[in-house]
Amino acid sequence: MKRQAIKIINRSKNPLPGYATPGSSGMDLRADIDGVITLNSLERVMVPTGLYIELPEGFEAQVRPRSGLAAKQGLTCLNSPGTVDADYRGELKVILVNLSNEPQTIHAGDRIAQMVIQQVERVELIQVSELTETTRGQGGFGHTGKN
């Protein structure tokens, strides 16, 4: 499988993001902070990573929560998945929120999120007065009545 090359600047003390296993879709992002950040219940913070990327046109980076962090500590990403556009050149930052009832601490180098690189298609929207009918129609959330 051909891999897309992505340019990255790492101004943190952490190693470059990488895939933990051969089947991993996401690369772990780490906190680039001095000291610790303590988040109280329902508090949110933007955590810097020290990373800057140059995505090719037609690609995006998605910043997603780490399932273990969410399940064990109640820390998750807001605006999830967060989209990093191909023309963005600023530092990657992660918006974390503490959804637990206890204060949670983030240390320098902690894995705080994962980044997935995806190819995206740009489309042309065509305004019409009707859409093609389907069996589902306008059935939305829970429309089948199944659990």
Q: Report the alpha-carbon distance of residue 96 to residue 28 in Å, rounded.
A: 14
List the one residue out of 74, 88, 75 whose CA is nearest residue 29. Answer: 75
Is the pLDDT score of 147 beyond 70? no
Which residues are paired to 83 by β-bridges? 62
- Assess if residue 20 is contained within a domain: yes
- Assess if residue 23 is contained within a domain: yes
- Assess if residue 100 is contained within a domain: yes
Q: Report the alpha-carbon distance of residue 50 to residue 36 in Å, rounded.
A: 16
- Assess if residue 131 is contained within a domain: no
If one counts the domains in the chain, the total is: 1
Contacting residues for 2 by C-beta, under 8 A, at least 6 apart: none
With residue 62 as reference, give the H or E element that holds it: strand 59-64
What pLDDT is recorded for position 1?
A: 65
What pLDDT is recorded for position 54?
A: 98
- Looking at residue 14, which CATH number applies to its domain? 2.70.40.10
For residue range 69-128, list pLDDT tens digits in order.
Answer: 999 999 999 999 999 999 999 999 999 999 999 999 999 999 999 999 999 999 999 999
- Assess if residue 136 is contained within a domain: no
